[in-house]
C-alpha cells in the first residue's frame, strides 16, 4: 500500500478489503449511439478505431532518462528524495533509470518499429533550467531537440508534458509549490519551452496528475517531497492548478500553434451498495478524485461542496481571479485511468476486482468507459486523449496478462468512441520498464523490457501484440 490507496484512505477512511457479491452498483457499460463526428471504420475482425487515432506510449523524464548529473542538469526533488534512506524500495534511484538519455536513438527506433504515431514524454525542468529559473541550459535543451527531431523524422507526434513531478530542488529550497510564486516560475519555464520547442511540438500537457502530487507527496508523504500535511497539500494543489492556468495563458501569448491541456488521473467512483449512506460517501469521494480537478480546469470553479470542507488556510490561498486563470480554455484533456474506487456506507474502500502487482491497481476496464462517457456528459465534448493506462507484471517478456489488460481497456475505449466520446488517442504506460517512484525498479510497466544491469532492451509479447493493433488500427477478434 504505497500508492493510490492513500488518497482515498485519507479522504474516506480505512481500506476495507473484500466485498460481498450482491453489491454490483456500477452503471452498465452501454454501447450508446454511433459516434458523432468520429466514425470508427469497420474492418474485418475486431473493433476498428477512427482514422488518424493516436496510438502511443508514455514515459516521464525522471523515470527513464538517467544522466542525472550530466550536461549541467540540476537536481530535482526526486533526486533528493530517492537518495534519502528508506524512501524507495531497495534504495533505488533514477540516477541511471532506463538510460534513455544515452540510448535515445535506440528507443526512437523501437518506437518506430512498434508503429507508434504518438509519444508522450516529459521535459525535466531542472535539465533545461538547473536552478528552475533564469538562463536555459543549452546542453539539456539539446537533448529534447534530439528527441523531438528524431520523433518527427519517424513520423511520431511528440506530446510533451511540462511537469511530471520533478520540481527543481533549487525551487523546492525556496518553498516549491507550497509558495504561490511557484505557479509563475512554472509558467515562465513553460513559456521558455514554447519558444524553444514550440515550432516542433504541437501538443503540450501542463501538469501530470496534480492529485498524486498532493496525495502522495504531501498527504501520505511516500513521494517527493515526502511531507505529511493535508492542508499544505491542498494549498499545493491550488498552486499547481494556478501554474497550469498561467502556463496555458503563456502558451496563447506565444502564439504557438497546437493544443494544450492538463493530464489528470481520474477514477470512476461507485457506491459499494445501494444504501443512501454509500451513495453519499461515493459523492464525497468523487469530489476528491475527480471534480476537485475537473471543475476548475474545465468549468473555472471549485465545487462548492469541496470548498465547504476546506480549511481557512486553503480557502485563503484561493484568490480573486485565480479560477478564471485556472479555467483558461484548453484544447484537450489528457485522461489517465488505472482503477475505479468503490466506497461503502462507512466510507471504507472496497476492492471489488482483481488487483495487480501494484496492489492499488484494481483492474476494471468498464471503469474507463464509465469515466470517458461521464466526462462527455458532465463537461462536454472537449477532445480527450488517454495518456496513461497499463499494468505492471512479474511475467518477464511473456506478459500475456498485460495483453489481456490492454485488450480489454482498448475495447472499453472503443465502446466510448461508439457512444460519441471524442477520444483521439491512447498512450500505454509505459514504453519502457522504468523507475516506478517509491517502488523503484521492482515493478515492470514497460512494453519493452529493460535489463536491470545492462539496460539492454527487449520487446515483450505485449509490444508485438500492440504492433499488430496499431497496424490494423483495431483489435483482433
Ligand atoms: C502514474 C504516473 C506514472 C507512473 C504510473 C504507473 O500515476 O503518472 O509516472 O508511475 O502511474
Cell of 218: 504531501
Residue 239 predicted with pLDDT over 50: yes
- The 10 Å Cβ neighbour count of residue 319 is 11
What's the whole-number mean pLDDT along residues 75-79?
99
Residue 41 predicted with pLDDT over 80: no
Residue 436 predicted with pLDDT over 60: yes
CATH number belonging to the domain at 3-38+53-472, selected among 3.20.20.80, 3.90.226.10, 3.30.360.10, 1.10.150.130: 3.20.20.80
CB 372 within 8 A of CB 423: yes
**C-alpha span between 243 and 280 (Å, rounded):** 32
- Ligand 1 center to 319 CA (angstroms): 31
Residue 2 predicted with pLDDT over 70: no
* Closest ligand 1 atom, residue 208 Cα: 8
- The 10 Å Cβ neighbour count of residue 378 is 13
76 lines ligand 1 (CB under 6 A): no
Is 209 a catalytic site residue?
A: yes
**C-alpha span between 461 and 393 (Å, rounded):** 12
What's the whole-number mean pLDDT along residues 411-432?
98
Handedness of CA 223, 225, 226, 231 (dihedral sign): negative
- Ligand 1 center to 53 CA (angstroms): 23
Residue 24 predicted with pLDDT over 60: no
Helices of type H across 154-215: 169-172, 181-197, 210-212
Q: Which of 178, 328, 388, 436 is catalytic?
A: 388
**C-alpha span between 364 and 338 (Å, rounded):** 8
- pLDDT tens track for 276-308: 999 999 999 999 999 999 999 999 999 999 999
433 lines ligand 1 (CB under 6 A): no
Q: What are phi and psi of 326, to 5 degrees?
A: -65, -35
Mean pLDDT, the chain, as a whole number? 92
pLDDT category at 3 given cuts 50, 70, 90 is low
- Ligand 1 center to 224 CA (angstroms): 14
CA 412 to chain centre: 18
* Closest ligand 1 atom, residue 445 Cα: 6
The Cα-based distances of 109 to 65, 113, 450, 466 in angstroms read 16, 6, 15, 16
265 lines ligand 1 (CB under 6 A): yes
445 lines ligand 1 (CB under 6 A): yes
CB 352 within 8 A of CB 362: yes
Is 388 a catalytic site residue?
A: yes
Q: Which of 65, 209, 436, 439 is catalytic?
A: 209
Q: Give rounded-to-5 percent helix, strand, coil for the chain.
A: 40, 15, 45
* Closest ligand 1 atom, residue 392 Cα: 6
- pLDDT reported for residue 333: 99
**Residues paired with 429 in a beta bridge:** 58
Cell of 47: 473493433
**C-alpha span between 163 and 437 (Å, rounded):** 15
212 lines ligand 1 (CB under 6 A): yes
The protein residue whose alpha carbon is closest to atom 9 in ligand 1 is 60
Q: What angle do CA 214, 27, 50 make, to 5 degrees?
A: 80
- Ligand 1 center to 197 CA (angstroms): 25
**C-alpha span between 338 and 209 (Å, rounded):** 12
CB 269 within 8 A of CB 286: yes
* Closest ligand 1 atom, residue 390 Cα: 6
The protein residue whose alpha carbon is closest to atom 5 in ligand 1 is 429
**C-alpha span between 16 and 2 (Å, rounded):** 16
What's the whole-number mean pLDDT along residues 257-286?
98
Residue 22 predicted with pLDDT over 60: no
- pLDDT reported for residue 127: 99
What's the whole-number mean pLDDT along residues 436-446?
98
SS (H, E, C) 262-307: EEEECCCEEECCCCHHHHHHHHHHHHHHHHHHHHHHHHCCCCHHHH
The protein residue whose alpha carbon is closest to atom 10 in ligand 1 is 436
pLDDT category at 45 given cuts 50, 70, 90 is low
Q: What are phi and psi of 264, to 5 degrees?
A: -115, 135
Mutate to test the pocket of ligand 1, among 97, 207, 222, 336 (most ligand atoms within 8 A of CB): 336
DSSP type of residue 48:
B
Residue 274 predicted with pLDDT over 80: yes
**Residues paired with 58 in a beta bridge:** 120, 429
Which residues lie below 8 Å from residue 320, measured CB to CB, with a gap of 6+? none
Name which residue leads in pLDDT, 47 or 387: 387
- pLDDT reported for residue 47: 84
Domain ranges of the chain: 3-38+53-472
- pLDDT reported for residue 476: 84
- pLDDT reported for residue 269: 98
- Ligand 1 center to 429 CA (angstroms): 8
**C-alpha span between 84 and 400 (Å, rounded):** 36
- Ligand 1 center to 336 CA (angstroms): 9
Cell of 116: 507508434
Residue 165 in 3-state DSSP? Answer: coil
Amino acid at each position: 500500500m504505497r500508492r493510490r490507496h492513500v488518497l482515498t484512505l485519507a479522504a474516506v477512511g480505512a481500506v476495507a478489503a473484500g466485498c460481498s457479491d450482491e453489491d454490483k452498483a456500477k452503471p452498465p457499460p452501454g454501447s450508446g449511439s454511433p459516434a458523432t463526428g468520429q466514425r470508427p471504420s469497420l474492418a474485418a475482425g475486431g473493433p476498428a478505431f477512427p482514422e488518424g487515432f493516436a496510438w502511443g506510449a508514455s514515459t516521464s523524464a525522471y523515470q527513464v532518462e538517467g544522466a542525472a548529473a550530466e550536461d549541467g542538469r540540476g537536481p530535482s526533488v526526486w533526486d533528493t528524495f530517492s537518495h534519502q534512506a528508506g524512501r524507495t524500495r531497495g534504495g533505488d534511484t533514477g540516477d541511471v533509470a532506463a538510460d534513455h538519455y544515452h540510448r535515445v536513438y535506440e528507443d526512437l527506433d523501437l518506437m518506430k518499429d512498434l508503429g507508434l504515431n504518438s509519444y508522450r514524454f516529459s521535459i525535466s525542468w531542472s535539465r533545461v533550467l538547473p536552478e528552475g529559473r533564469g538562463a536555459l541550459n543549452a546542453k539539456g535543451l539539446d537533448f529534447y531537440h534530439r528527441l523531438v527531431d528524431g520523433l518527427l523524422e519517424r513520423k511520431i507526434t511528440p506530446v510533451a508534458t511540462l511537469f511530471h513531478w520533478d520540481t527543481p530542488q533549487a525551487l523546492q529550497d525556496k518553498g516549491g509549490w507550497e509558495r504561490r510564486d511557484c505557479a509563475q516560475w512554472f509558467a515562465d519555464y513553460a513559456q521558455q519551452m514554447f519558444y524553444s520547442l514550440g515550432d516542433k511540438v504541437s501538443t503540450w500537457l501542463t501538469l501530470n496528475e496534480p492529485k498524486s502530487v498532493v496525495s502522495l507527496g504531501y498527504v501520505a508523504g511516500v513521494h517527493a517531497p515526502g511531507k505529511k500535511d493535508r492542508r499544505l497539500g491542498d494549498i499545493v494543489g491550488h498552486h499547481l492548478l494556478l501554474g497550469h492556468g498561467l502556463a496555458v495563458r503563456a502558451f496563447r501569448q506565444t502564439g504557438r500553434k497546437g493544443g494544450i491541456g492538463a493530464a489528470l488521473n481520474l477514477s470512476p467512483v461507485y457506491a459499494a451498495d445501494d444504501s443512501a449512506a454509500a451513495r453519499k460517501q461515493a459523492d464525497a469521494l468523487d469530489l476528491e478524485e475527480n471534480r476537485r480537478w475537473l471543475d476548475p480546469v474545465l468549468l473555472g470553479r471549485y465545487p462548492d461542496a469541496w470548498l465547504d470542507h476546506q480549511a481557512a488556510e486553503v480557502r485563503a490561498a484561493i484568490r480573486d481571479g485565480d479560477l478564471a486563470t485556472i479555467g483558461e480554455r484548453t484544447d484537450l484533456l489528457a485522461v489517465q485511468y488505472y482503477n475505479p474506487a468503490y466506497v461503502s456506507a462507512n466510507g471504507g474502500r472496497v476492492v471489488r476486482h482483481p488487483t495487480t502487482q501494484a496492489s492499488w491497481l484494481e483492474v476494471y476496464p468498464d471503469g474507463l468507459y464509465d469515466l470517458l462517457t461521464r466526462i462527455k456528459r458532465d463537461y462536454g465534448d472537449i477532445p480527450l486523449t488517454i495518456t496513461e493506462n497499463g499494468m505492471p507484471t512479474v511475467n518477464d517478456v511473456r506478459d500475456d496478462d498485460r495483453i489481456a489488460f490492454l485488450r480489454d481497456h482498448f475495447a472499453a475505449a472503443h465502446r466510448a468512441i461508439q457512444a460519441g466520446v471524442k477520444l483521439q488517442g491512447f498512450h500505454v504506460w509505459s514504453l519502457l520498464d522504468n523507475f516506478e517512484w517509491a517502488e523503484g525498479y521492482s515493478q515492470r510497466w514497460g512494453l519493452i523490457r529493460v535489463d536491470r544491469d545492462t539496460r539492454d532492451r527487449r520487446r515483450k509479447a505485449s509490444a508485438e501484440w500492440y504492433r499488430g493493433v496499431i497496424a490494423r488500427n483495431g483489435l483482433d477478434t
